[in-house]
Amino acid sequence: MALAAVAAFALAAIAALWVRDRGDSVQLATDAAPAPTPEQQNRVTAAGAISEARSQLALGSLDAALQAVARAELAEPGNRETAALREEIEARKGELAEIEQQTRIDQGLQSARYALAERRFAEAAKAARAVLALAPENEEAKRIQLESDRALRRIREQAEAEAAAREAEAAKLAEVAAPVADVPVITVSAAKDGQIQVEFATDRSEGILTIYANERQILRQQFHFVRRKGIFSRERISGTIQASRRVAAGPLTLRVYVALEGSPTRSISIEGELEGGATRVLDIRVDADGNATAALR
């Protein structure tokens, strides 16, 4: 029994020594783990920023991606991966800028085409100039601006010519209205008025109709026939004008002027006779090409 007790005591002592040595080894291993260097910390920070930049790039948030790249560059200057990522992001931004500019050019050209087709020349020229500000060498925008400017010039010249013609007619009427020494003999049938019934139909939606009976203007009416297609859109359509005018009986010279947008003024002269108390119909037609015809029935 004494021998057994001695053996047990020896085993206990050996175990205590082993536990103590094991604890010392663990403590030594723990104490031996080195702290990360500043370079290692910067590398970890840069890696995290690069990962964030790639995530933002995948989401399409290019500005946020560039901010993350800037943090990576600050943490670890000269990193090739960071430099390549910056180039990729900036290239993507350049592509998006080109796409946005091309979209604006396409939309501007579409607006210019529609305005030109609808003979809204001022709007067409403005839209074409906006396109040329983005793409100075765009041939279609140059063509639309040139055609629109020419059309606007024709309209202006036509308006000036019509104004001069009206002044000339007014002067001519003033001469006709001047008093004369001899008073002509007026028959009863000639003294009685007749009626001119104007029937005007046009396939062109916009213009001005002017009619003279002998030297007196009996009608001047601007027309603009459109139909609503939607809240903000209109469709040009054909239309008619009807009017009745009293005209002195006797020999009759009718002069019809049809001024259409973007086209020369059409002039038609008709000779006839109007009996007192009678009604005659002046039938005027304008086709889609702007050709005008008139007949007295």
Model pLDDT, residue 189: 44
Half-sphere exposure of 12 (CA within 13 A, CB side): 6
Pairing of the two strands 216-224 and 266-274: unpaired
- Where is 257: in which H helix or E strand? strand 250-260
Q: Look at the block and give the residue holding tokens 């992001």.
A: 89
Instruction: Give dist(CA 151, CA 263) in Å, integer.
Output: 9
Average pLDDT of the chain?
83
Rounded Cα–Cα distance for residues 12 and 78 (Å)? 61
> Taking the CB of residue 63, how many other CB atoms lie within 10 A of it?
9
Residue 36's pLDDT is 79
Phi, psi of 239 (to 5 degrees): -165, 175
Can you give the pLDDT at residue 60? 86
Distance CA 113, CA 93 (A): 30
pLDDT on residue 76: 83
pLDDT at 6 over 50: no
pLDDT digits (tens, 9 = 90+) for 242-292: 999 999 998 999 999 999 887 888 889 999 999 988 999 999 999 988 899
Q: Can you give the pTM of this predicted structure?
A: 0.38
- pLDDT band of residue 21 (cuts 50, 70, 90) is low
| Residues forming beta bridges with residue 245, ordered by sequence position | 196
Between the two ends of the chain, the Cα-to-Cα distance in Å is 155
pLDDT at 297: 92
pLDDT for 10 equals 54
pLDDT of residue 190 exceeding 50, the answer is: no
Distance between CA atoms of residues 177 and 279, nearest Å: 26
> What is the four-CA torsion angle of 241, 242, 243, 249, rounded to 10 degrees?
120
CATH for 189-296 is 2.60.40
* Interval 55-107: pLDDT, tens: 999 998 999 999 998 998 998 888 888 999 999 999 988 888 889 889 999 99
pLDDT at 212 > cutoff 90: yes
